[in-house]
Structure 1
């Protein structure tokens, strides 16, 4: 079983977004900081979640089909949209995220408060600050 935590950070004035991905398996952590193409926080949350699943799929390869993933997000819209497989203004992003989850045997999505998602949150903010410094 793998635990996947994702979070996005967006700077509205610049339109820059970045994400943090934290993968936990057998007490080992993989931490990733990514720059995102999204320019709003909601779209960034979907994008980083998709990237997290894509990275995890590459990491474990064929084992995906027998792997359960506990997915943690502090984004209510991502959590709700996955439960319904629908989001009025974000359907393409929902479909892309569901496709990234498809290789796994089972994905259990859990909304968590931001304070319980500090690992991914910190990575996202670090990535955003790095992107802002380069701009």
Structure 2
């Protein structure tokens, strides 16, 4: 199972949205959703949380997941299991990941996260 997440935030208004791309046995499932207004780093955590909630709701626990994010803050926080500024969001994300059999988190460049990025951009327009 592959999970790609990304967030988009409009800096002037802090409107945020998530793009979530789940790939299961070669089949893509695309999701976009409005997030609470927030800064971009918080939105990246919220997008990851939303992605894991969808994965767990759709496929149940005990999945082997390759999780891809273009947020270095999210990737490093998960790797260290520590975040000074996003402790609550990280704790929620780690709790969801703990329900999976294995989670391999990998930071990828924004250019490699195009699918989730496009979905997040589309999600911003859901608010209007």
Aligning the two structures, in what range does the TM-score lie when normalised by the shorter sequence? Answer: over 0.9
Deviation >6 Å, runs of 4+ = none
Query: CA-to-partner distance for each residue in 1:4-60, whole Å, 9 max, x for gaps?
Result: 000000001111000100000111011000100141000000001011001100111
Match of 2:18 in 1: 19
1:118 equivalent to 2:114? Answer yes
Residues 12, 39 of structure 1: 8 Å contact kept: no
Q: Does 1:97 find its partner at 2:88?
A: no
Between the two proteins, the alignment pairs up a number of residues equal to 128
State TM-score, norm by structure 1.
Answer: 0.92
> What are structure 2's unaligned runs of at least 5 residues?
none
Relative to its length, the structure with more helix (as a share) is 1
User: What corresponds to 2:8 in structure 1?
Assistant: 9
CA contact under 8 A between 1:38 and 1:47: conserved in structure 2? no
Aligned-partner SS, 1:130: coil
**1:35–1:127 CA contact under 8 A, matched in 2:** yes
Q: TM-score if structure 2 supplies the norm length?
A: 0.97
Aligned counterpart, 2:71: 75
Instruction: State the alpha-carbon separation in 2 of the partners of residues 110 and 89 from structure 1.
Output: 21
